[in-house]
């Protein structure tokens, strides 16, 4: 772009490789997740801009409908030194969420992360700015073939056009409605998951490698001498 030519854009794949799971029900049982439970997963930085506090309130609202909705949070979590994390612990206690929320903290082993994603029914990423194509957490969910609830924002325009997630507003009401939709409508959840998986397949590391090879072996555009 600096030289007056359009940039070459290469997508990024996911480092969290989908595990081979012979029986997902048994894997869920190993983690204490019942077949009737709807398990949402947040993956990423646990910070104010990622609306985790609102997510807890939405989870509590979903549970009032009788749905056994639960949330697992994968990402650095240390309420002993982080004020926002302290607020989250207090809010979860206030809402009576108890064992409905699991704080895994930062998980170093990629395969352990992959197993946690594999037992999920849906991802949830309520970011202030929305989710863009280069978001690693969304990419991981998509590569695992699970639907994601996320928020509209300045980065999410193309993703909304492709309908690769359930998009909503970054507030408790919007999150609650979207999470209820995912929890109640298996057909819609599977449709969104299929779109996300197709999106991810077009961004597999094989495809990324081929794109880089084409980029590196193509003739560069001539520079304009000013």
- The CATH number covering residue 175 comes to 3.40.50.2000
Q: Can you give the pLDDT at residue 21?
A: 64
Q: Per the domain annotation, does 23 fall within a domain?
A: no
Q: Per the domain annotation, does 17 fall within a domain?
A: no
Q: Can you give the pLDDT at residue 223?
A: 44
Is 20 within 8 Å of 222 (Cβ atoms)?
no
Q: Per the domain annotation, does 7 fall within a domain?
A: no
Domain count, the chain: 1
Parallel, antiparallel or unpaired: strands 147-151 and 122-125? parallel
Domain containing 63 equals 31-203
Quote the CA–CA distance of 155 and 127 in Å, as a whole number.
10
Q: Per the domain annotation, does 63 fall within a domain?
A: yes
Quote the CA–CA distance of 92 and 62 in Å, as a whole number.
14
Q: Can you give the pLDDT at residue 225?
A: 38
Q: What is the residue-level pLDDT of the chain in tens, covering all 226 positions?
A: 455 555 555 455 555 556 556 688 999 999 999 999 999 999 999 999 999 999 999 999 999 999 999 999 999 999 999 999 999 999 999 999 999 999 999 999 989 999 999 999 999 999 988 888 888 899 999 999 999 999 998 888 888 988 999 999 999 999 999 999 999 999 999 999 999 999 988 875 554 555 545 556 666 555 443 3
What is the DSSP secondary structure assignment for residue 10, as one 8-state letter? -
């Amino acid at each position: 772009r600096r030289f007056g030519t359009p940039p070459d854009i290469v997508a990024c794949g996911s480092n969290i490789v989908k595990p081979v799971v012979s029986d997902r029900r048994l894997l869920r049982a190993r983690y204490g997740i019942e077949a009737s439970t709807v398990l949402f997963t947040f993956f990423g930085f646990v910070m104010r801009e990622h609306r985790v506090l609102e997510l807890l309130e939405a989870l509590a609202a979903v549970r009032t409908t009788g749905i056994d909705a639960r949330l697992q949070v994968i990402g650095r979590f240390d309420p002993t030194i982080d004020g926002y994390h302290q607020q989250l612990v207090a809010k979860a206690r206030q809402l009576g969420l108890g064992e409905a929320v699991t704080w895994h903290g930062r998980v170093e082993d990629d395969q352990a992360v992959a197993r946690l994603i594999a037992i999920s029914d849906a991802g949830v990423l309520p970011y202030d700015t929305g989710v863009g194509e280069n978001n690693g957490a969304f990419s991981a969910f998509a590569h695992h073939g699970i639907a994601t609830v996320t928020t509209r924002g300045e980065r999410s325009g193309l993703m909304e056009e492709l309908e690769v997630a359930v998009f909503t507003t970054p507030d408790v009401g919007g999150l609650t409605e979207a999470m209820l939709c995912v929890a109640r409508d298996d057909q819609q959840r599977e449709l969104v998951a299929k779109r996300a998986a197709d999106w991810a397949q077009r961004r597999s590391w094989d495809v990324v490698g081929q794109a880089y090879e084409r980029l590196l072996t193509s003739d560069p555009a001539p520079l304009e001498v000013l």
